[in-house]
Amino acid sequence: MAIPPASADWRTEVYREFDYWSVDDLEIEKALGISMDQCTLNVILDDKFKYVHFNGLPALFFDL
């Protein structure tokens, strides 16, 4: 069975969430000077740009 092509109005972005806190020793939190609750990031990615939002740190924007 062939997979039909995606329609023109199909989504063109990807959204991702990630937690990067330390499980044992709080090494990451100490190195960055933020709390465990702040060790999260959100990413929006499309074919031209990537935006990374950190909770407690400056955001990053990439022109791909």
pLDDT tens, position by position, 2-21: 767 767 777 788 999 999 88
Specify the higher pLDDT residue, 56 or 9. 56
Say yes or no to pLDDT of 61 above 80. Answer: yes
- What is the helix, strand, coil percentage profile of the chain, to 5? 15, 35, 50
Q: What is the pLDDT, as a whole number, of residue 60?
A: 97
User: What single letter denotes the amino acid at residue 62?
Assistant: F
Which of the four pLDDT bands, split at 50, 70 and 90, describes residue 53? very high
Question: In the predicted model, what is the mean pLDDT of the chain?
Answer: 88
